[in-house]
Every structure is written in C-alpha cells, then in structure tokens.
Structure 1
C-alpha cells in the first residue's frame, strides 16, 4: 500500500513513521508539512522521495493510495474531505472530529467518493480491552448496569509535545487530548445509543483550559457510564470498572489485566489475580512490549485498515464510530459551559 503522510510532527515522527517504515506491505511515497526544515530532515532520514510543504501537492500525487492525517484536530475536516475528493483512502488521527457537523462532512465525503475512512483509536486494541469486550459479549456479567472509567496522564508540556494541544482559552484540553481514548473504549464496550450527557470540569493548574473533567453518559438501555479525565493527578493510569447484573469486571488497560468478580471477592481471589497480572507484566517486560505501550497497536490498526481496503470490508474503526466520540466531546463541552445536561437528538 502506497502511503502519504500529512503532518509530520511529534505523533508522526515518534509513532507513525517508525511503524509504517517497519511494515513490508507499506511504501511511504510522500510526506507534507508546513515546516520545511522538518520535511527535509524526515525525508532524508526515511529516504522519502516526495516531500512537500503544501499537502495539496501530496494529494495530487497519483502514486499515493492512502493518506494518513496527523495534523491538529481542527484541521482534520478540511484535509479528510480534500483527501477523499482526491480519491485517497484516509486514516485520520484521533479525535477524527470534535463536532458532529465536521464528522458528518467527513463521512459524507468518504461515501460520495467511494473511499475508506478509518480513525486511529488504538487503545481498543489492547488485549485487556479485547478480553473485556469478549466477556461482555458472552454474557459473563449479564447486562451492563454501569461503567466507571478513568484515564490519568501528565499535561502535554515540554519536548515532544505539540503546542496546539494547550493553546487558546476555548481549547477542549484534556477532553480532546486523552479523552478520545477513554470515550472510544467505553462506547466500544457498550454499543447502546446515547440518550444524554452531563459533564463538569475546569482548570486547577496554570494552563487556562480544561485540565480535569468528569463526563456522565446515560444510554438508551438505561445503563450509565462515568468518565474521569485528568492531567493533574501526577500519575498515569487507565482502567475501567464495569458492573453488570451478574458480576463485575475490572479492566486495567495499561497493564493488560482483567479480573472477573462474582459474589464475594476473597483475599485468595485477589492474590490469584495479582499473580496473573504480574506474570503478564513480566512477560511483556521481557519481550519489550510493556515499554512500547499503546504504540504497539498502531501497526495492527494500519494493517487491518489495509486489509479492509483490499477486500472492500468494514474499516477497523469507522467514521461512524469516530462520530460517536465527537458527539461526546461536543456535548461534554456544551454541558460544562451551560452547566446542564445535553440530550442527544436522533
């Protein structure tokens, strides 16, 4: 698959370029970025012949089949629509969009031009998330009653981070940065339609934007989800507690561990769970996978997307799924501003 990359900042440089370069089925045909020096350095490093400072020149290259968009999210809609109009399949970084209007325009452009659209939501490919999804599907905990999910991280400051993530008082902050990962996992595990969203959040640091937030979702089947997001905890962690009518699931996403609880959880149950968790961590440390973390799953999503293009099958993360995340982001921000719940229109 012949690939072109639009935007070669930190995400492309640290994740996508090394991943694509390691895949035999991929040829990096061209890159585009407004930073001329960056384009020159990366094209030299990876021996990429076509290097542009205008992404439209990349889209005019007939030798490119698939475009990977790694630009700030506010540029996604324009670039996805133009890429689709140029007949390129599109893989776009998360969040695909932060408004439903933009998401709909991207989806419509993909349909009108008969191209595949996929969103980089790699956290759902963690084995722990897959395991949790399989247990729910098998009915191991009955019907979902509620989910409590949290994702804690450090603020995106310093070398290796893009400034656009924290610029502007209207920035969605943590909701737009790490929020899409957690939102996507929750919606991937519970496919009931969203009825209403209420969110609260604010700034307790010095970034003058939303650095912590809680998002509450009520689904059509009356199940609930609470998402806790923060840059300010001084820790990195992502986990879910899922209560069903017949049991409980604890999913430690980062450490790839799932614990299923029925009736009473004894100290012996906890000990057994800890031993299994440590065995998994030691195995991943020995293979080096533990230190790669979520970056490991970019290759899986890219490979699956290429297969979907070649076989004309469903994308691994569709534009419609990216739209659901946009619904939550947009509604959460509206709820925080207006201090009231947002009811989702069908």
Structure 2
C-alpha cells in the first residue's frame, strides 16, 4: 500500500516535522557518496508572505538531513519568464540555504539536454535530472489557475529547460506534466505546507497558514492526498489522473496509508483558482507584489560603489538620481570631457571625484560597477575596457553601432564573470511586466498583430550633446531600440522587415519613421516613431491583438495599468496603482523628466551587482537588438 506522511509543525520546530515526515515513508535510502538532486519550487524572486516558493526553512531541513547521508547534494531550478534561476534563488533566500548547507546550485536551462521518449512523445530534458541517482522533490502546497493544484506533479514542470515554457507547453500543459513525471523518477517528496496558497495561484493567490509537512515516494499519491486536504477531488484533476494512467502512484484515498495526522483533521476548503486572466483588477495587493516592487530598494549583499561615464541628460535624469536614491550605493566618481558638466554634477549629486579621462575612473579598484552614458560610438570600446578592469556594466542603448561590433563585444566579454546589462529601462515598467506575463501565459491567445507608436518631442529633451541630430538615422536610432527590445521581450525575434518609410521634416535627419515587421511567431507589427508630440509628456502606445483578447497600454503616460478587451467591445482596466497615481506621475514626468522605470532599472542593476547574479536583459538581448536595428536601417 502507498504511504504518505502528514505532520503538523509543533512549536515552530520545522526540522523535527521534516524528520518525522521523511522517517514515516522509510527515511533517506541513499548510499554514501551518491549524488542527490533536489528540486524546490522557486516560482518567483519575491515572496513577501511565504506562500509562493518553497520555504527556506523546509529546504534547509531537507538539505541538512540529506547531508547526513551524502556530501553530494545539488539543488536545481530552471529559468522562467519571471527571471533567471540564479536571480530567483538569490533574491528569494534559497541560495543562502544552498550555501549554508555546502550544496551546489545548477541552472537546468544551462544543463546538457537529452531527448527522452515517454508514451510515444519525445521530451527535451536536462541530463542532471533524467540521470539522477536520487531525486528529491520539495514542492509547495498551492492552487494553480491552469492545473487546479500545484504540488509534486506540477513542480516537476520546472525542470523543463526553456525560459518561456508557456510558449512551448501551456497549450498542452496537462499532457506534458504527466510525461515529465514519468521521465524523472522521484525517490522522495517533501511538501512545504507551512504557508500554502489558495485562489489565484501559483503566484497571485492568498496565503493560508497550514503548518504542515507532507512526504511520499511518488507524485500521484502525494498529490491525491494534498488535493483532499485542500478540498478538491483528485479524480477531477487531469494532471493527477493522466499521470496515474501512466502507471504511477495511487489515486484512491482508501488505498493510501496516511501516517501522522488524519486527512480530515488537517483539511480545509481552499478557494478554487479562477482561470480568467492571470491578473487581478484595480490596485490589488497581489499585483503590487508581482509588478510594482522592483522600484523599491531591496536588501542586498553589500555596499556597491559605482562610477558614471558621461554626464549628459540621461545620466542626470536616470542614472545619477537612481543611484543617489539607494542607501547601499555610493557614487564614487564620474567622468566627462565637459568640465562644466562635471562641476554641475558634482554639486548636484555630492560626487567626491571627477575625471576628464574615463580611464582614470576605470583604474579605481574600489569601484564595483559602471554606468556608460556616452554617445553610442563609444559604447563598445568603453564596455570592453570596463569589464577588463573588473567592473560590471550598465550601458545605455545601443551597445554598439553595428552588428559586427555587437558580436565582437559578445565574444570579448560574454564569458567574463563581470556582466554587461543593456539599459532597456522600459522592461521594468509595471504595465510592461504585466503584458509580458499575460502574453507568455497565453491569456490573449496567439498574438496576431501589434501596433506601436512612440512620440517624444526632442525640443523638450534639450540634450547636452546633440549627437542625435548628427546621425542621419535620427529618431530610428533614438527610439527604435526601445521598441525592438520590447518586441523581442513580448513576441520573440523579428522574421522579416517588410517595409520602412523615413522622412526628415524638422531636424534635418529622420524624425518620422514607419516600419512594417513580421515576427517569427507570424504576428504582423506596425511601428511609428516620431520626434513630434501633441504634449510635453511623451507617449509610447501599444495595441496587441490576440485570438482571445486585445491589450492596449501607454508605457509612459500610464505605467501602472493595462486595458484588456476580451470580447472586442468593452475594455477592462487592470492596475497596480489607483488612477490618481497615473495622473500625478504624468505631472512629475513633465516637470522632472523622470519615469518609474528609471529608478526600477537602477535598483535592479545594483541588486545584481551586490548579489553577483546575472541580469535580465542580458548582453545577448542587447546584441540581438543591434542586429535587428541594422536590418531595419538597411531597408531605408
């Protein structure tokens, strides 16, 4: 008879409950020297209520017990649309647990891929998991809007190596999860039921205090018991029944031996997930947690000393105030050829050292990271030199002035332990992050088309070095990279550049450009770039049409909200802030020339530097943007 352990955590003693749960199903049967692979649930990089990820206390107890049997313990996770595996592990506190227990961490998205055939279907899976000598699954007890619950079975979906798993698997999610579990035999399962989640799981639901630890040997039996505890019928949950049909586990509660607490004593009725949009309307706490907190200073590993090269308007409005607003950052030095700008910046931001030769700044061994805010033709050279001097780099777009230069940059610094992050600040806007989540989860179906219009009046910006008016490409090289990066972020790579029309009407360079593109996912895209605006507040409008719904939003004028039409008639607003916040921020933008994404990007970059975690967007994202921009320019 299959056995499942169900134990309460008494008096806060998590380790004792984990030990009792593991002992109840036969203990850790690992031979000394065997390698043990541990898969926790690290769904998101923030978990303020302890209901999203495997609780570090549970993982700590599991690793401590495993280390009593073997010294070879490896914790694994893969990249996802929310962030890279290392970033999620670091910022959620999981990586600290890994280090404390002398375990290794492996990003499965970087692992060697093997092809495994199960029930006539072939899967791409990481070799580390497929060939594991002993595999331990440490999931979270949560609801899930696509699979009803996410416990042991759904947690194994996270071993798939693709970053955007939704694009590859969400339409066939209930088919893929059973196959993954059949291909990856689990030897031990320990379920974190300290703080569970109900409602809109797996991320935007509500926390439920359960103080439980569960254990078992196979995912079907564990999930069947978990479903009963949560008030669901496991025979109506497809991922359970379809995995059971593959010959795994037991689904009938009467045929399962429960050790510890009887199910009826610990059960409660969880609110069911509502599979509607994946987001919640108007200012809910869940949306604030998911999409807003990136601009709030977060705890980091150490104080970061930064230098800024180039003291023009982008440094004055974005980089310098962003660093100045963080308590764990010191602006150690700035560099610029213009001595008047150096003196102005020194007074305004309290900088201690200034240089007219940027190489003197790079030679300062105490500086950890550099912002490069110079004209584009200097970006590649300065980035290479900064990395060679042991600095992490945040470089304004574009990273280089040609595809050849961009790939040279990638080859020269791509394997360095010091990272390069392209400054695509609009990715950090709450509305942009919401749209990426909605599209990647398939909520508006297959994207058919997109219309993008970016208007920004250059007379308002009044750049210190007017290099934009020297290059013939003008508005294309100024606003184009932002559009292209977001298209890559939302929809993937560009397949064809169908047409481009460029005119010089006011500035002697191209100041009005229209572009027609076809994406690799077959979506048709029309882009308008204009150095003319109907307001001193710029606008960056998007309309994205899918087979199930249409999204429209303005990145600049309404950074906290998106509007979605599900029926082609009515529009519904989804927001992380009240509409009054949008209005007041428009005034601030007009007066101070700032935007929410500015501080959010700087804060994120500093976190990555302090915690030594790779950023997203990546160097390759910046290279791909340069490559697409060159393809467009060649069509003029």
Q: TM-score range by the shorter chain?
A: 0.7 to 0.9
Secondary structure, aligned partner of 1:228 = strand
Cα contact 1:107–1:117 (8 A) shared by 2: no
Cα contact 1:147–1:243 (8 A) shared by 2: yes
Post-superposition shift, 1:202? 2.4
Cα contact 2:550–2:568 (8 A) shared by 1: no
1:187 equivalent in alignment to 2:485 = no
Aligned match of 1:198: 498
Aligned match of 2:341: 38
Aligned match of 1:327: 627
1:291 equivalent in alignment to 2:593 = no
1:129 equivalent in alignment to 2:432 = yes
Post-superposition shift, 1:240? 1.1
Aligned match of 1:145: 448
1:119 equivalent in alignment to 2:422 = yes
1:262 equivalent in alignment to 2:563 = no
1:165 equivalent in alignment to 2:465 = no
1:177 equivalent in alignment to 2:474 = no
Q: Deviations over 1:50-93 (max 9, x none)?
A: 21101111111111110100001111011111111111110011
Post-superposition shift, 1:249? 1.4
1:242 equivalent in alignment to 2:547 = no
Note the residue ranges of structure 2 that are not aligned, 5 or more in a row.
1-303
Alpha-carbon distance change, 49 to 325 in structure 1, aligned in 2, over 3 angstroms: same
Alpha-carbon distance change, 156 to 96 in structure 1, aligned in 2, over 3 angstroms: farther
Alpha-carbon distance in 2 for matches of 1:115, 1:107? 12
Q: Which moved more, 1:320-329 or 1:103-112?
A: 103-112
Instruction: Please tell me the root mean square deviation across aligned C-alpha atoms, in Å.
Output: 2.3
Alpha-carbon distance in 1 for matches of 2:542, 2:461? 29
Post-superposition shift, 1:8? 0.6
Alpha-carbon distance change, 33 to 161 in structure 1, aligned in 2, over 3 angstroms: closer
Aligned match of 2:210: none
Secondary structure, aligned partner of 2:595 = helix
Post-superposition shift, 1:315? 0.7
Q: Deviations over 1:7-64 (max 9, x none)?
A: 0111112222122111111111111101122213322433322211011111111111
Alpha-carbon distance in 1 for matches of 2:396, 2:603? 15
Q: Deviations over 1:276-326 (max 9, x none)?
A: 78x84313445x576247632222222222222333333131111111221
1:18 equivalent in alignment to 2:308 = no
Post-superposition shift, 1:335? 0.5
Cα contact 1:203–1:210 (8 A) shared by 2: yes
Alpha-carbon distance in 2 for matches of 1:289, 1:116? 34
TM-score (norm 1): 0.86
Post-superposition shift, 1:175? 0.9
Alpha-carbon distance in 1 for matches of 2:612, 2:406? 22
Cα contact 1:281–1:290 (8 A) shared by 2: no
Higher relative contact order (CA 8 A, sep 6+): 1
For these two proteins, the number of residue pairs brought into alignment is 325
Alpha-carbon distance in 2 for matches of 1:69, 1:76? 7
Cα contact 2:454–2:541 (8 A) shared by 1: yes
TM-score (norm 2): 0.48
Post-superposition shift, 1:198? 3.2
Cα contact 1:218–1:224 (8 A) shared by 2: yes
Q: Which moved more, 1:292-301 or 1:118-127?
A: 292-301
Aligned match of 1:214: 514
Q: Name the structure with the higher helix share.
A: 1
Note the residue ranges of structure 1 that are not aligned, 5 or more in a row.
337-346
Aligned match of 1:82: 385
1:301 equivalent in alignment to 2:601 = yes
Post-superposition shift, 1:156? 4.6
Alpha-carbon distance in 2 for matches of 1:246, 1:41? 53
Q: Deviations over 1:83-140 (max 9, x none)?
A: 1111111001122233222222222232343211111111122211111111112211
Alpha-carbon distance change, 224 to 159 in structure 1, aligned in 2, over 3 angstroms: closer
Post-superposition shift, 1:157? 6.4
Secondary structure, aligned partner of 2:458 = coil
What pairs up with 1:331-342 in 2 under 5 angstroms?
A: 331-336=631-636
